[in-house]
Amino acid sequence: MDLELKDKVIIVTGGAKGIGEGIVQVLASEGAIPVIIGRNKEDNQKTLAEVEAAGGQAFEVVAELTEPAACEEAVQAVLQKYGRIDGLVNNAGVNDGVGLEKGSYDAFMASLHKNVVHYYLMAHHALPALKESKGAIVNIGSKTAETGQGGTSAYAASNGARNALTREWAVELLPYSIRVNAVIVAEAWTPLYESWISTFDNPEEKLKSITQKIPLEQRMTTTTEIANTVAFLLSPKSSHTTGQLIHVDGGYVHLDRAL
Ligand SMILES: NC(=O)c1ccc[n+]([C@@H]2O[C@H](COP(=O)([O-])OP(=O)(O)OC[C@H]3O[C@@H](n4cnc5c(N)ncnc54)[C@H](O)[C@@H]3O)[C@@H](O)[C@H]2O)c1
């Protein structure tokens, strides 16, 4: 299937590592021009170089997305370079363990900035360009919005908001034919996941106990599997799909617990 993404300029926040990197690689392999927005220049350039070495095109902008002004500047940098934006993937975030019992006002608010405020700001600033291109938005979310995890109130709240904003924007942007969907992830091996699992006393045991409960093939989801679904949702091949929360999780959230 030709996804018709050739030369489409698509912003991927947190595109230098993990799930974002997977999305950047898949988009580039489809002939799109993914734009990596990330806080670390070296990380951005490493992924950019890999895309180029494989014969693809990409661009990178350094931005710390918890700073509201940086979100606007990043969008402007893309417009300055290409004059258009065809898609936005909101992906950057961190499961930072700001719990109910062990947490604080400051930590809770800071986590919302790490995990959801920039989702809003990136969409807000990219909107005029997305209206022109009839572009698409994909929000990456986490199972924690639906299942909880314990000890991570702000991250769970942010993911609840990511889901709600997906539906809310799908409605608000109907008049512009801008589609908005979410891809919900449960367990994917990334640098973030690795640092989370290492917080347990016996990370290997913990990982084994988690993967055993993933219904489809008792394994983690790959970043490429997530990215393939994101690419489809960005493409005109999903032209009548909007407001959907699509779980790419090997059945983790919805299938029978007795499996
Ligand atoms: N890995 C999983 O199993 C999993 C599960 C559910 C949801 N998710 C979601 O997927 C998204 C990506 O997770 P990942 O595991 O790929 O993370 P990761 O840490 O491995 O990669 C994220 C990248 O984004 C960058 N980044 C993060 N916050 C940023 C900010 N404020 N400004 C600029 N750059 C920033 C990081 O530096 C890194 O390069 C997150 O939003 C997370 O909620 C991941």
Nearest residue by C-alpha to atom 19 in ligand 1? 192
18 Cβ below 6 A of ligand 1:
yes
Q: In the structure, what pLDDT confidence band is assigned to residue 29 with cuts at 50, 70 and 90?
A: very high
Strands (E), the chain: 9-13, 33-38, 59-62, 87-90, 136-142, 179-185, 245-247
The DSSP symbol for 12 reads E
- 183 with 248: CB under 8 angstroms? yes
Asked whether 22 lines ligand 1 (CB < 6 A), one says no
Q: Report which of 245, 91, 89, 86 is spatially closest to residue 178, judged by C-alpha positions.
A: 86
**64 ligand 1 Cβ < 6 A:** yes
Strand order across the 136-142 sheet:
59-62, 33-38, 9-13, 87-90, 136-142, 179-185, 245-247
Q: What's the CA gap between 175 and 242, in Å, rounded? A: 13
Q: Which atom of ligand 1 is nearest to the CA of 187?
A: 3
pLDDT, the chain, mean: 97
Active site residue 105: no
**Ligand 1 centre distance from Cα of residue 84 (Å):** 25
Measure Cα distances from 59 to 36, 52, 56, 80, 125 in Å: 6, 10, 10, 12, 18
- Gap from CA of 134 to ligand 1 centroid (Å): 27
CA angle 113, 119, 124 (to 5 degrees): 115
- Per-residue b or e along 186-207, where b marks 16 or more CB atoms closer than 10 Å to that residue's CB: bbbbbebbeebbeeeeeeeeeb
C-beta separation of 18 from 192 below 8 A: yes
Could you give all domains of the chain from N- to C-terminal order, each with its CATH number? 9-186+222-247 (3.40.50.720), 192-220 (no CATH)
192 in contact with ligand 1, CB cutoff 6 A: yes
- Mutate which of 11, 94, 183, 229 for ligand 1? The one with the most ligand atoms within 8 Å of its CB, which is 94
User: What CA–CA distance (Å, rounded) separates 158 from 93?
Assistant: 9
* pLDDT confidence band for 234 (50 / 70 / 90): very high
Task: Please work out whether the CB of residue 65 comes within 6 Å of at least one atom of ligand 1.
Answer: yes
Kindly tell me if the per-residue pLDDT of 78 is higher than 80.
yes
Q: How many A from CA of 158 to the centre of ligand 1?
A: 13
Cα→Cα distances 41→9, 34, 60, 178, Å: 20, 16, 8, 31
CA angle 38, 18, 156 (to 5 degrees): 85
Q: What is the mean pLDDT of residues 155-161?
A: 99
- Which tokens belong to 106? 């400051």
Please report the pLDDT score of residue 257 as a whole number.
82
Q: Which two tokens stand for residue 87?
A: 């898609």
Distance 202 CA to ligand 1 centre (A): 23
Using the structure block, give the residue that is written with the tokens 């045991």: 205
Token pair, residue 64, equals 């710390």
Q: Would residue 206 be called left, alpha or beta, if left means φ above 0 and alpha means ψ between -120 and 50 degrees?
A: alpha
Q: Tell whether ligand 1 has an atom less than 6 A from the beta carbon of residue 17.
A: yes
Q: What is the pLDDT of residue 258?
A: 82
Q: How confident is the model at residue 259 (pLDDT cuts 50, 70, 90)?
A: confident
140 lines ligand 1 (CB under 6 A): yes
Query: Which one of 155, 176, 193, 252 is the catalytic residue?
Result: 155
122 pLDDT higher than 90: yes
Please state the rounded mean pLDDT for residues 95-112: 98
pLDDT of residue 34: 99
Examine the pLDDT at 224 and tell me if it is beyond 90: yes
